[in-house]
Structure 1
Amino acid sequence: MKGRAERLSPVVDMSEQEERDAARQLGKCQTQLMQAEQKLADLQRYRDDYHKQWLNAGSQGVSGQWMIGYQRFLSQLEDAIAQQERSTHWHRDVVDKARQSWQQRYARLEGLKKLVEKYRQEQRLVEDKREQKQMDEFSQRILQRVRMQ
């Protein structure tokens, strides 16, 4: 007959798989967040560089047409930055949810492992008591044989 610890083995295995899957998903989400943050930083750096170029060109005088083109492009760039900020925020939320999911699965796994260990300790204690009882009975039989002789 299987002990309680052995009967929980499939549950522990399944919990380990779920924890590994959640950890893998968290890693994937973190990578996507880093990519979104990098893209945002690149857009912001490009906007800053473009603005510096405008300052340099503007100090030398520019046409009205050039100014309109600059304003239009800068507006599009600001829209792209705002969109990327929203995307980055969304990715942060996804990472937070993935982290919570992994933490829950990890805690469940650790709880199961502790329970299995508790059951194993209880089983060892039962076996130790049984062994001690057998040894006591064996000692008693030997003592009785010695006395009978």
Structure 2
Amino acid sequence: MNRRAERLAPVVDMALKAEREAARQLGQAQNQLLQVQRKMAELERFRGDYQQQWIERGQHGVSGQWLMNYQRFLSQLETAVEQQGRSLTWHQDVVDKARASWQEKYARLEGLRKLVERYRQEAQLLADKQEQKQLDEFAQRLKPSAY
């Protein structure tokens, strides 16, 4: 490895650690979002079941007390769904930001890797040219003189 590439090794290591940490944070944010999505689905399913109960009970007649309890609970359920919706939006935003951060760190890491590879290729090309020059000089010395 040439000196320029060697000097970049600690920078590449730091970029790799940053990219891995960003990937870990993205995974964690995605898991939290998935949990919030599941809870939202449960609330919506429960609301649908509860509304179906209203339809079934309503066909047979309900008391005023039952109707008031139903409306109060449905209102609380709607509040919970709205809160969960806000939580879902917030968690989606966190995932989006974490993804952008990871993409930025990944792009930096890949850029550094390409730079190191270019430095290696340049060093190899220079070494190949120097070797060819030495071989040419050696071949010139081995030629018999034309006198």
Report the TM range for the smaller structure's normalisation. Answer: over 0.9
| Partner Cα distance (1:31, 1:46) in 2 | 23
Any idea what SS the aligned residue of 2:145 has?
A: helix
Per-residue CA deviation, residues 23-66 of structure 1 (Å, 9 max, x unaligned), is: 11111111111110110010010001011111111111111111
Runs of 4+ in 1 over 2 A off after TM superposition: none
Per-residue CA deviation, residues 93-122 of structure 1 (Å, 9 max, x unaligned), is: 000000000000011011111111111111
- Give 1:43-82 correspondences, 5 Å limit: 43-82=43-82
Any idea what SS the aligned residue of 2:61 has?
A: coil
Number of the residue aligned with 2:145? 147
Give the paired residue count. 146
In structure 1, runs of 5+ residues without a counterpart are none
The CA deviation at 1:2 is 5.1
Instruction: Quote the RMSD (CA, aligned, Å).
Output: 1.5
| Partner Cα distance (1:13, 1:101) in 2 | 18
Question: Is residue 15–residue 108 contact of structure 2 (8 Å, CA) maintained in 1?
Answer: yes
The CA deviation at 1:91 is 0.4
Question: Is residue 2–residue 123 contact of structure 2 (8 Å, CA) maintained in 1?
Answer: no
| Partner Cα distance (2:62, 2:116) in 1 | 77
Number of the residue aligned with 1:97? 97
| Partner Cα distance (1:3, 1:141) in 2 | 32
Could you state the TM-score of these two structures normalised by the residue count of structure 2?
0.95
Any idea what SS the aligned residue of 1:147 has?
A: coil
In structure 2, runs of 5+ residues without a counterpart are none
The CA deviation at 1:7 is 1.0
| Partner Cα distance (2:71, 2:65) in 1 | 10
Could you state the TM-score of these two structures normalised by the residue count of structure 1?
0.93
